[in-house]
Structure 1
Amino acid sequence: MLQDSDAYFAENEIYQTCDVLSEKGRLAQSQGPYIWVHPYAPPFPMLREVKPKNPRTARILKAREPQLIEPVKRTQLLHGPKCPIPLNTVLKTFHALTKPHSVLFAKKNENIHPFENAEGIEFLAGKNECGIVVFGSSSKKRPNCVTLVRIYNSKVLDMCEMLLLAGQGHQGNEMGKEEMKSMKLNIGVGMKPMMLFAGSAWEDATSPVYAMLKSIFLDMFKGEETDKIDVEGLQYLLSIVAEEPVEGSQPVIHLRWYKIRTKKSGQKLPRVELDEVGPKFDFRIGRMREADQDVMKEAMKQGKRPNEEAKTKKNIGMDAIGDKIGRVHLGRQDITGLQTRKMKGLKRRAGVVAVDGDGDGDVDLMDVDEMTDDDNRKKVKVG
């Protein structure tokens, strides 16, 4: 049943949200009119495959496909059904660090559960063209939970769950409201924070969760790639410290922000000092989902960079000391007719008896060249 007027929504008391839910049923808005969906249908139906009808639509669909040189990843920040003040502060802080390549949604999403059903995350990320999703929710089983999700080819690549711990001097799972409001982090647009990963857990090859979490943080905060950096833009340092792992428990991860101040030192290089600013976050890693190896290998492919010089000559390189080294590939050569040099020292002289194992005593004589005084050569065959 199709309805084109908004009176249908008022008559049936249907509330239109991001996924258009109601008690009596659910509507899915597509290109054109509203389509009635059965109440017991999945909360996020699969989108139908759109076939381009004109060149403009084909260009848009092609731009959404994976590219060899991807643009800057956009970050989408979503709220769950319950999002207390400490969790909301985490989302606002991440939003401030990723401006202008991030979008923060303040509306609550009731039916998004990343680890149970990722279709909702994929749907909203595809609509907003975001490659990273930060979802904050709080429940009795998992209070103050932040889920970091990476999207590749409109599907969830990997995800990691971080549980926000209580602040210092507070009891329970919620930090003080006045403390969080007073420690608001204000960062200008376009500033690139420097990142410091401290702790042996980040280099542990036996635990892939920390390598994945480090990769997600770098993807989120790296911003635009550039070969020139303005020193004035390097004003903040993001410190991510992992405690030493203890058997039976995950180490706590501390997130701290520092303001970089340069002062006169009497030398060419200034004296650098760090002032702690912004909120303090302590996390403990929860659930995780690793990416498939084949999908990750495809996602890690890189094309030719714009500033990369083209190789005009193949198989030519430089060694460690700067000498040019080339590799030459030759075909199979015929050496049967190759003229070799005769060594006179290897020839057997006349009258020499060959000693063989059979003892037949046969004499093996060879031609001997004798030089005369008048430089005339005379071949003498001794028989």
Structure 2
Amino acid sequence: MQRIVKPKTQRGRRALERKEPKIFENSKSTLFFKGGNTSQTVTQVLKEMHTLKKPHATMFGKKNATRPFEDQSTVEFFTSKSDSSLFMYGCHSKKRPNNLVIGRLYDSQVLDMAEFGIDKFVSMKDVEGQKASMGIKPCLVFSGDLFEENDDNRRVKNLLLDFFRGPTVDNVSLSGLEHVMSIHGANGKVYIRNFRVLMKKSGSKTPRVELQSMGPSLDLSLRRTRLASDDLFKRALKKPATAKPKKKKNVSHDDLGNKLGRIHMNTQDFAKLQARKLKGLKRKGPVANGTDAGDESKKQKVDET
């Protein structure tokens, strides 16, 4: 039987309310933790990735003897404890040196996982220059044929996009765009580069944009994956009806992006239509002898003369 947790304090009640399912979910948080055996490279990668993901990130300092591909219960327990839906796990062994596992969860269960090997790593400390501000949403740029080879690689691309995209926002300020992350896939490897955006004077309103490397830089080799079935993945993408935007009736857009609207009106009675009054169109009333009133007045004037 599943144990029902009842809060004993107001603080505990608020913590449980934050974990409850919502129509509009909070920004996804990421958990960083390492296995029983790690190397200096893996530890440094976890620290710097944790720095890029702040403030929506949590990092465990102690080692945890777990293997996500063999047993997912430990990962599900840690992510539930830290209220995280994304995780990055690092370990090191003779069979898989400098190992890195990136994954995500759905309904407190592991959905997708991808395992990478760190072939080359350049730390942020080894790159001179100013870094991007903390908490800045990055601009992601995907390139390469690796992510279009098969369905599994497309799912890996979707996983990386979900992992690095940051919080969901409605509008993006041009001045707030400071961080660009380039992810290139080719020949079974993934190359991750981080750049800082520099806006310099150009003599016009639009600034001249330059990219400056700020680190970290990673060369990863794709080792193995554990992806969810199509039915489970489709269920994870389902949105409640209340979260979908309401469709506006009688409004459409053409190929050029112009907004078109249809207006419904009642049937018009043209007999009652008020037109412009002109003397030439004015009707004149008939006289009894068949002549107009205007002609009779003219005859009277002639007789008087």
Same fold (TM over 0.5): yes
Going from structure 1 to structure 2, the CA distance change for 1:309 and 1:121 (only over 3 Å counts) comes to closer
SS in 2 for 1:232: coil
* Cα contact 1:69–1:303 (8 A) shared by 2: no
Pair 1:144-2:98 in alignment? yes
The answer for the alignment partner of 1:159 in structure 2 is: 113
* Cα contact 1:96–1:187 (8 A) shared by 2: no
Quote the Cα distance in structure 1 between the aligned partners of 2:61 and 2:13: 33
The answer for the alignment partner of 1:349 in structure 2 is: none
Equivalent of 2:71 in 104, 112, 117: 117
Pair 1:51-2:7 in alignment? no
Equivalent runs, 1:224-239 vs 2, <5 Å: 224-239=167-182
Identity of aligned residues (%): 32
Going from structure 1 to structure 2, the CA distance change for 1:119 and 1:268 (only over 3 Å counts) comes to same
The answer for the alignment partner of 1:77 in structure 2 is: 32
The answer for the alignment partner of 1:255 in structure 2 is: 192
Q: Deviations over 1:267-286 (max 9, x none)?
A: 22111111112132100001
SS in 1 for 2:191: strand
Equivalent runs, 1:240-319 vs 2, <5 Å: 240-243=183-186, 245=187, 251-303=188-240, 310-311=246-247, 313=249, 316-318=250-252
Q: Which amino acid aligns with 2:91?
A: S
Quote the Cα distance in structure 2 between the aligned partners of 1:193 and 1:77: 19
Quote the Cα distance in structure 2 between the aligned partners of 1:182 and 1:59: 42
Q: TM-score, normalised by structure 1?
A: 0.60
Quote the Cα distance in structure 2 between the aligned partners of 1:319 and 1:271: 33
Q: TM-score, normalised by structure 2?
A: 0.74
* Cα contact 2:54–2:134 (8 A) shared by 1: yes
Pair 1:182-2:97 in alignment? no
Deviation at 1:151, TM superposition (A): 1.0
Quote the Cα distance in structure 2 between the aligned partners of 1:87 and 1:69: 34
Equivalent of 2:57 in 102, 112, 117: 102
Quote the Cα distance in structure 2 between the aligned partners of 1:54 and 1:264: 57
Deviation at 1:107, TM superposition (A): 0.6
Going from structure 1 to structure 2, the CA distance change for 1:52 and 1:81 (only over 3 Å counts) comes to closer
Quote the Cα distance in structure 2 between the aligned partners of 1:188 and 1:324: 44
* Cα contact 2:127–2:213 (8 A) shared by 1: no
Going from structure 1 to structure 2, the CA distance change for 1:58 and 1:267 (only over 3 Å counts) comes to closer
SS in 2 for 1:299: helix
Deviation at 1:202, TM superposition (A): 2.2
Equivalent of 2:46 in 66, 91, 105: 91
Going from structure 1 to structure 2, the CA distance change for 1:133 and 1:153 (only over 3 Å counts) comes to same
Deviation at 1:153, TM superposition (A): 0.8
SS in 2 for 1:165: strand
Going from structure 1 to structure 2, the CA distance change for 1:165 and 1:67 (only over 3 Å counts) comes to same
Quote the Cα distance in structure 2 between the aligned partners of 1:51 and 1:124: 19
Quote the Cα distance in structure 1 between the aligned partners of 2:131 and 2:43: 15
Equivalent of 1:135 in 86, 89, 93: 89
Quote the Cα distance in structure 1 between the aligned partners of 2:191 and 2:7: 51
The answer for the alignment partner of 1:320 in structure 2 is: 254
Quote the Cα distance in structure 2 between the aligned partners of 1:135 and 1:53: 31
Going from structure 1 to structure 2, the CA distance change for 1:60 and 1:292 (only over 3 Å counts) comes to farther
Higher helix share: 2
The one of the two structures with greater contact order (alpha-carbon pairs below 8 A, sep at least 6) is 2
Going from structure 1 to structure 2, the CA distance change for 1:203 and 1:268 (only over 3 Å counts) comes to farther
Deviation at 1:232, TM superposition (A): 2.9
* Cα contact 1:196–1:240 (8 A) shared by 2: yes
Deviation at 1:262, TM superposition (A): 1.4
Runs of 4+ displaced beyond 3 Å: 52-68, 183-187, 303-306, 308-313, 321-326
The answer for the alignment partner of 1:6 in structure 2 is: none
Structure ID, larger Rg: 1
Going from structure 1 to structure 2, the CA distance change for 1:209 and 1:100 (only over 3 Å counts) comes to same
SS in 2 for 1:229: coil
Deviation at 1:255, TM superposition (A): 0.9
* Cα contact 1:73–1:219 (8 A) shared by 2: no
